[in-house]
Amino acid sequence: MQKTALLAGATGLIGAALLPLLLADARYAKVVVVGRRPVALAHPKLVQVVTELSELESHRLQLIADDVYCCLGTTRQQAGSKEAFHKVDFLYVVQLAALAASNFTSQFLVVSSLGADANSRVYYSQVKGEMEAAVGPLPFRALHIFRPSLLLGRRAHPRLGERIGATALALAGPLLRGSWAKYRPVAAAAVAAAMLRAAHTDATGLRVHEPAGA
């Protein structure tokens, strides 16, 4: 039986790479994209729900899906403040997960970050860890948490710090071995492909996906 996929964050680095994979997958009859801006793509399987993320509840019936892929994420600099960052990376993610659980979604697949830890002194890692802790108890058949390292790919709004960091890590990549291998930058397209593969396994319960060497 063909399924429905829901994607949040389709205009981001991983989401933009994941969307065409979902549309090309014959196991999905419909792909619903939810976000503040429409994607510039037309496809017979594609349904777009354009809304503020704070208004997800009012679109509950449009957001029913078997598999929900959450690729929401920003940075404090891009968001403009700690509060705005927290809304995107914690509040909206958790609200989407809760809505999906109440809609009896089978699987929830969410992008977190390497180093996610609710007790971290690094605010970014702390928020990611708190998000993981909040979605963990929700009653999904399977919850997949992806913790990539620094992402590689073409962003609509390049982040200078990430570009410098990616360049430095790419140069040092061959030297990052063993337990250090997890810090090698990873292509957003590779994360997107890993999310799709995970969704089509028979896994149940919580599954945390980290880079090799983590």
To the query of whether residue 128 is one of the catalytic residues in this protein, the response is: yes
- Whether residue 7 contacts residue 38, with contact meaning beta carbons closer than 8 Å, is answered with no
Strand runs labelled E in 36-187: 46-50, 67-70, 107-111, 142-146, 151-152, 186-187
Coil vs helix vs strand at 39: coil
Query: CA separation (Å) from 135 to 13, 57, 95, 128, 180?
Result: 22, 17, 9, 11, 28
What DSSP designation does 136 have? T
Other beta carbons within 10 Å of 63:
21
To the query of whether residue 182 is one of the catalytic residues in this protein, the response is: no
- Residue of 30, 87, 128, 182 with catalytic role: 128
CA dist 185 and 26 (Å) reads 30
Instruction: Indicate which residues carry an active-site annotation.
Output: 124, 128
